[in-house]
A and B are shown apart, each in its own frame.
Chain A
Amino acid sequence: MVAVLVYATRAIGPVLMAGVDPTPRLRRFLDTLAASVIAAIVATALIEAGLREIAAAAATVLVMVLSRSAVWAMMAGTAIAALWTNIGM
């Protein structure tokens, strides 16, 4: 049942949009929505998390801004989290 529900949520977006002619305004809305969803997911995860996760996310953003490489940014964030745990902070 869980599988059916999750698939339904995947399929429903395009079905709803099928009859709609996307105006530039609607497209911009959806485009902003995409970034906003990710922002909300990250923010939610960060409140539930501790300092360790916040440090990891901050390192990721910093390296992303400096290097513009998502892979380096993620490796930096993961490394910070691993160090944090192993040093026992």
Chain B
Amino acid sequence: MVKGGQQIRLTRKGVWAGFVDLMPVAVFSTPFGIAFGAAAIEAGISPEKAIAMSALVFSGAAQFATLDFAGPDVAWASLALIVLAISARLVVMGAVVSRELNALPARHRFPALAWLSDPNFARTHPKFRNGETDVGLLLGGGLALWLNWVAGTAIGALAGDVIGNVSRYGFDVVMLCFFAAVLAGEVRRPRMALPVAVAGLCAVATQGLLPAGWSVIVSALAGAGLSLVGRD
């Protein structure tokens, strides 16, 4: 597909640029990984399994939720539902960047999707909107996050008790701050202010009424629904 005269593509240069661009943010997923690794050990999961899980699943929220199910009798159906609900936002993010992704050949599309995550999505989506055509940025950012996440998990699983509580360094709020910063950037566009406010309030209102992942989806749809109201 052609956008702004340029073919949508995935280049090694783009992957590297995305990797370098997101690295300052991604290093903070190391302390997250440490927290997960330590929590996994506490839940009775072996270090090798914890590391393999981070490498394959690559989703902090889904993995932390999974730890609640660790034990001799796993309630697979409940686990599956919770993981799906928590990950449902990935469906939305995938749909948002689908124009770029579907223009790629399958051998590029599926790796790019495997490393799709909230921070590299939040960073790359505004660039696509401004005419960026190299999906490598998305994949590179994902690889930077993944590397730190897996390395952090390994440190936490093998040496968690040496490091202690990550909240002493403020590492536990890094992702929250990252999303808050992205949001503050988005709201500068006037037509975003109302949907963002509605989505935020809706998430507050549905908290406790809906399971965690679902309240995010419903709230996001409520906010985005506003874009359909009014003049074209």
Asked if A40 and B177 sit within 8 Å, CB to CB, the answer is no
Look across to chain A and name the residue whose beta carbon is closest to the beta carbon of B201. Answer: A43
A49 nearest CB across to chain B (Å): 7
Bound-state CA distance A3–B79 (Å) is 12
CB < 8 Å neighbour of B90 from A13, A22, A36 = A13
Interface residue from A34, A41, A46 paired with B125 (Cβ < 8 Å): A34
How many chain A residues sit at the interface, stated as a range, is 35 or more
Q: Determine whether the beta carbon of A38 is less than 8 Å from that of B182.
A: yes
Contacts of B116 in A (CB 8 A): 10
Which range contains the number of B residues in contact with the other chain? 35 or more
Measured in the bound complex, the distance between the Cα atoms of B126 and A80 in whole Å is 28
Q: Is the CB of B113 within 8 A of A14?
A: yes
* Chain A residues whose CB sits within 8 angstroms of the CB of B178 once the complex forms: 70, 74
Docked-complex contact B226 and A32, CB < 8 angstroms: yes
Distance in angstroms from B227 CB to nearest chain A CB is 4
Q: Which residues from chain B sit less than 8 Å from chain A, CB to CB?
A: 24-25, 28, 53, 56-59, 62-63, 66, 76, 79-80, 83-84, 87-99, 101-102, 109-110, 113-114, 116, 118, 121-122, 125, 129, 167-174, 176-187, 191-192, 195-204, 207, 212, 215-217, 219-228, 232
